[in-house]
Structure 1
Amino acid sequence: MEEPKRLAIRKDVLRDLYLLSGNRCAFPECTRSILNGSGNLVGQVCHIEAAMPGGERFNPNQTNEDRRAFSNLMLLCYDHHIETNNVNKYTVEILREMKRSHEKKFSDAAEKLFESTVSDMTLLQEFEYCSNLNSINKVLEWGNTESELLEVVPLFNSLLDKRLRKLTPNTRSIFSVMVARSEGSEINLNEIRDVTGSSQSEMVNAVAMLERYGLITEPEENEYLIPVTYFQEYDMWDMWYEIKKYSEQSSISLKNIIEDMQFSLFD
């Protein structure tokens, strides 16, 4: 176990905290600003689980990096920072929910604004429907007849129309990596963020959009984990697992299928 050491908070974490704060204290119904009109920090960056032993809610099992991570920090005004020092009333779980609710409110607003600015762009994105599914049927050895495949074609094209085409290109790119790395029982969002080079705010927005269009379920209590079962669709037939297998066995990239929306590659 490493020796506890207070590390400086990274600039990218501070930026994401502020962007998702709406420039407001995260305490419910508090309207105090974090930055004043002159751009000076008048709020406080607060640890949910303390940075050092003796601090409120200190967790000896955390690493020093965990303690300065985005997930362990929130922005509060001075008065509410003092109030939340009452560890009996303000437990780790309560503060995490306070942070989640506050940031979700402002991330949803940002997402709606972002969607409205790119709505024309999403309509102009190129895509191709599938028409017979002969290739995926052969590669995965489904053994379906031509008439059986034609019954499945609308399901695939509905997945394209009602879900993938609603996403921004960046969100499809993140989802493509999620599908590619979907092994075991869960997916680590920190890992997805790192390998895609996404900021915390970009991940928050992408997860919100993927939830909205039914491509993932809401993350559980640990905000960094999502059950792999979120890929299951259509009477529990795991289409995304099948699509991933097809990509691996046919050498057709998930980028072409998911990001470029070329469903004709299944034919």
Structure 2
Amino acid sequence: MSDNVEAPKRLNPKKNTLRELYLLSGNQCAYGGCAEPILTAEGTLHGDVAHIRGALPQSARFDPTMTNERRRAADNLLLLCKLHHADIDNRDLAEKYPVEFVEAMKATHEAKFQKAITALIGDSTLETTPTYPSTLGAFGYGPEDEEFADLHPMVCAFADRLAAIPPSTRQILALAIIHGEVRGYSGPDKDVVIDPARLREVADIPPEDVNEFIHLLEGYGVITSDSTDGYGRTLLTLAGSTPTGYGWDLYVELKDIAAGHRSVIERAVNDLDFTVFDIPSS
């Protein structure tokens, strides 16, 4: 990763992000068992936008590897009543409210409303326009390099392909990349695979919902289930990142660039911010 890390700065959420958070909140605090409304019938705001990973170094669960844009992205935010917001941001309670706990809280709460919202208005209202890379510095290339002319259109085409996938479905794809394993072959080719049982485990939504998302991802051509492990069990293979037979896999490259930081993968897949390919890897 680059050593030129931007200074942490609290950015207000974008309007589309706030809209998405409110729609998926069901107008309720996301804390388990709390029925406090975010907005009362009288129009009084009872809720706050809370961060999973804090906005500033002194904030709860601050992650120094995240960019300011990633910190204000929808997948790092949730709506809570003021009482529970104060609780989860109390640094004296840090052990009680780690990142994993708050992420699970958000996922569990929003899953209750995701299907209804999707059925009512569709995920297309929550789409994000891709941000394309400009240098491909992560691969050591710039616009002046001959290789750039071949690789840059493929990265942009991949971004466009993911943009056609609804946000909630892309989140499952991001998890598959994060928790998947890189598999090599006898030649230089590599790909990313994941056991579907593992994906169901890490998704933190009902298994039948994960199966539905897998089916959707297969329909978009970004996941296939035509591979097996050494025991004959089905594996999901991430596919379609570059033309068939090209021998270059962007899922593998993305995992390599991320170097274990899931926020980089989420930034590319969930936010469609492909400037992650501009940052020279360490």
The answer to which structure has the higher helix fraction is 1
**Structure exhibiting the larger radius of gyration computed from Cα positions:** 1
What is the TM-score when the length of structure 1 is the normalising length?
0.50
The answer to which structure has the higher strand fraction is 2
